[in-house]
Each structure stands twice: as C-alpha cells, then as structure tokens.
Structure 1
Amino acid sequence: MTTTPSDAPPIPGHAPIYSGKVRDLYAPLDANGDPREDVLLLVASDRISAYDHVLDSVIPDKGRVLTQLSLWWFEQFSSLVPNHIVSTDVPSEVEGRAVLVRRLPMLPVECIARAYLTGSGLAEYREVGSVCGVALPDGLTEASPLPETIFTPTTKAPMGQHDQPITYAQVEDLIGAELASKVAEMTTSILAHGNEIAAARGILVADTKVEFGVAGDELVLADEVLTPDSSRFWRAEDHVVGVPQKSYDKQYVRDWLTSAESGWDRTSGDAPPALPADVVAATRETYVAAYEAITGDTFR
C-alpha cells in the first residue's frame, strides 16, 4: 500500500501536501486561498505500518494516542530541546489527533538511540559485535542493558523501502560534523531523559527513533516523540535479560504478522494480511496502556 497527497481525507481550508505511512500533512490556506509556507497541519491517522508495509487495517484511536502522548513528551523535554508545535487549535475534523507545526527543513537521517539491545540492533551485534559502528562488550543478549545510551542512525528510505543502518561517520558526510555531533548528543539525551521519567512509572524505554528539523543553527524536535510507534516500551517488573520482552508498542503487531496464525512470509514480497478483529482490539489496548502508564492520565 502506498499513499499520495490525494489519499489524504479532505479538510476544508487546507491543501493536502503529503500522505505517509501514518501521518498526513496539509498546508493551511491563507486569505487568498494559497497554501501557507510557514506552517503545516500534521495529522496522525489510525493507519499502522510494519515491516515497511502499511496494513489494510486501522487501529481505533491510534492517531489520538500518538498525538496526545507526543504532546505530553514535548512538554517534558521543553527545557532540553525546542519542538515544532505551534498550536493544538485544529479543525474539528481532526481534533485530538492533529497539531499545527512549523514548516522546517528536515534532516535526511533517522535518529535512533538504544538503551537496551533488541530487534535489528541485536541482529547486527550478533553478526559483527557492534551496532552502526558502535563497538559493544562481548556477551550481550536479548534485552541486555547497554553500558550507555548509544546513537545508531539509519537512512531515511522512501516509503516501501527499508531504512539501512549507517555509521556516525556517514552521518557526518550527510549533514556535516558539527550538526552530526548535535544530533547524536540530542538523540541520546532524549532517550536517557525519557528513561529517567519513565522509570518512575515502571517503564523501560528500550530504544526510540526521533526526527529533527533545523531553524538556523538550532535543532528542532519534530514529528513524534517516544510513542508506541517510534519506541519500544517494556514493563520494568517484567524485564528479564535473555528472552523477548512483552512490549507496550507495535511489536505486538509485528509478532502476530510473523506468527503461524497470520500465514504471512515477510520474505515473499507479498503484502501482509489484514489484522483480525481481536488483534486490532488488543493493539488498541496496548497503545492506550502505554499512554496511561507513561502519563498517569486516563485516555479519553
């Protein structure tokens, strides 16, 4: 499934700009009916993606969870890094799952930080003893805590293609040494600070992906931050090194897709199947549980 601006649902007074895996972008129209160039309406849909595919299923309230949890985290990080939020005053059609944001040049790097070893990072470590060029101690295994939070960037691949791990030196080549240093430091700081906050709520954030725009010489945190789509959340009380963890994120969907029940072979090139109703319901519950555990608020 691929999406284009024309796939984005119409919103009066807004021109569709881009429709991605999960989010739709619109330009508000000015008094002359022309798209504004300073701001964008960022809308989180209920679509869900996995293994570089957008599934033919939606998760009710997912867009609201992503938006509201990101807003909560943006506030927690307000003294650490500026963000792109301009206003939460948005059209009624997308209330609760959209924000008005600054239009910024975005960095061509997926900025990933890891505090625990799992997923693709674990696979790379088992093969070469490092992740994105960062050497790690011997003897680590599934869900091992890392000696320190590390920066493990990837390419930002077009929709339908897979992001590829890159080294810090390659990031320097892409965006320059000074900006690369800022990005690496800020990405790891966000995860480290996020884990300090989450720990008080009994949650471990294993890894996360963030995106940055730039405004002059300033890094600006954009898109989403520490959500079940961009991060792995584990219950601290259930954490056991050496075995897969129960995740409060979209790992639940990935696990079902690769199970015998789904009947899908991810190496086949075929699109994955739609999610059954019970998996959709359980996925929604997982996202809501993550929101409530982290914020301490009841999701409405």
Structure 2
Amino acid sequence: MLLLPTGLVAPTQRTIPAFALHRPGSLGEAVAAGAAPGAVYAQGCSDLFAQFREGLRCESLVALDRVPELGRVAMTDGGLEIGSGVAHHDGAHDDTVRGALPSFAEAWGRIANHRIRQRATIGGNLMARRTRYEMSVMLQAAGARLRFLTADGPLELDPAALWDREEPHGALLTSIVLPGVHGLWFGYERSMRPLATAAVAVRGDRVTLTVGSEYTRPHTVRLAPDDDPVKAAERLPDSVGDAAASAGYRRHLAGVLLRRLLETRAARKEGR
C-alpha cells in the first residue's frame, strides 16, 4: 500500500518508479548487473508484479530471459539439475525430469493453475519466499541443493536456508540439483491445501517428511520406513501451527498424509 495525502492507495503498474533495464546474455553479466544496489532479477515475472504492488523498490531490472544456462535440464554427476529459469509446465513435461523422477514431474505439473504454470519458473517460485508456494516443500523433502552464483563465486544452499535469507545481495539462483534420483521414491500430497501439504522422499532406510501450508514455512522430520507415521509427525515443532490450524491439528494432518503416501509406495512396490 502507498500512503498518500488521500489515504492508503493500492499501487498498480502505473505507480512503479522508473528503473533501468538490463538484458544480460550470460551468467557473469547477470550477476554483475544484479550486484548493483536496488537491482532486481526478473524471469517469468508472474510474482514480480505482485511484489511491485506490495511496494518493492527497483532501481534496475535484470531480465534473465537471454541467459541460456538458466533454461537447461540435464543429468549430471551431482544428480538431476534443473535450471532456475525452467517454467513449471516445461519442467513437468521435460523428458529428462520424467525419465529420472516421474513422480516429481507429476507433482510439479499439479501446482498452481494453467496460466501460472506457463509463465512462472521454478526459481521464481523459490525466491519469492511465499509460504503458499509449493516448490520449497517438494525440494526440501527431496534433499535438493540450490546453486547460486555471486560476485564472489559459486554458493550452494539447502532450500530451508531461503527462509532465513542466507544468500548475499545479488546472488543469482542458477539451478536446482536433486541428488541420487535413481534411488529415490518421491510422493506429494496436496489434497488438504491450504491447511497442509506433505512431501515424502524415501532413500534406502531413510524417510524424509516435509510439511508446508499456505501460512507457515516448511518443516522437516526424518524417520525410518517402519516408524509409526503418527508418532513421526508428532515430532514437528510447535511453529508448524498458526491461526488457521493448531500445531496439534497440523501434526495430525501430517501423520495422515505421511501414512497415505507410504501406503501408496508399498502398494506400488507390490504391483498393486
């Protein structure tokens, strides 16, 4: 909101102050432009205009649509690497993603709506840091690593670090790496949105549950495959609760969704 002599007024695109536009053609050029004070990165822009209406100040806009590395998807020595500029629709239908982790691709294709999926990117979904956006829940459970390029060189962070804003100003999210995908089972439950979503990743004898909601940052617990799902969900911290749902109720939902996902995994292993 803008405080004007006439009162509080909701900003629109017309109230955005003038800014310089940069259109880099490489990662190095992008980071150099993004390191300037007041610089803002732009890719799909589906969330950026909302940020402008919320009062985001931008002195220079760094458009990333001409940086080819951000749109690439590949299997690497580190795992499945997805460029931060890959749109939701493109990533969910990418042959490499579907071949490496089809359940993740299927879940990716269900988030947001059709219009948003066509424009919004996986990197924008993360960097917007909105609790109602679902990619951070999915990636946190899958053990993803976020690769940044900064003025001082490369930087790698866990998805949970985004909520604490651990990356320096001007850091450009270049890609997301999902390690060990060939030994990974992944499941995602969003039937209880907005109160709770749950992502589960199983690697060998380790199960990771990440729970998110429309209103709280994701929280993660780890358990063994034969642990009781309800008791495992009870280990979620009190901060999992909020005005929309108590911690106890959200733990209950998490236990139900965890059990459902593990039962789905067991049924598929048995060929049912």
Greater RCO (CA < 8 Å, at least 6 residues apart): 1
TM bucket by the smaller chain? under 0.3
Larger helix share, 1 or 2 = 2
